[in-house]
Amino acid sequence: MQRISIIGLPILLFFTLTVLANSELVKSTPETVDGATTVDAAAAYQLFEQEAAFIDLRKDPAWNAGRIPGAIHLDFKTAFSQESLMNEVGVEEPVVFYCSGVRCPRSSKACTKALAWGYSDVHYFRGGFPAWKKAGYPIE
């Protein structure tokens, strides 16, 4: 077995970190989605108080661990479709999409799809459930 020299260790570490930085695991989602309104936790809470529909796009285990009260669960990969969304929210109604935060692409992708399906009052809650929870807003 060949040993890594002391000089080689920093080089190996540099390349490992570079690969990780460019991987899907650590990439951030878009800051905005064309046609949607990007909201932070405070703006999302205002929409919550105005009874806007909140669509939780996370996987079942995340949903089961906690969610925004009254949110509608449509797992992006298994349950989110034009039909499932239209069964829950009218195209003219305000709708807020959220998932697991800035590293989760589900909410940005859902916003893009909803806009293509004719939804006109789309809100992209990029910080998602982690930002909501960190702000101290109610969860269930």
User: Can you tell me the mean pLDDT for 67-71?
Assistant: 98
pLDDT of residue 24: 45
Is residue 128 a part of any domain in this protein? yes
pLDDT band at 23 (very low <50, low <70, confident <90, very high): very low
Tokens 């009052």 belong to which residue?
121
Residue 107 lies in a domain: yes
pLDDT of 138 over the 70 cut: yes
CB atoms within 10 A of CB 45: 17
Average pLDDT over residues 73-102: 98
The pTM of this model reads 0.81
Q: Strand 95-98 to strand 72-73: parallel, antiparallel, or no bridges (unpaired)?
A: unpaired
Q: What is the pLDDT of residue 5?
A: 54
Residue 33, domain extent: 28-134
Q: What total number of domains does the chain contain? A: 1
pLDDT for position 14:
46
- Is 52 domain-assigned? yes
Decide if 6 is inside a domain. no
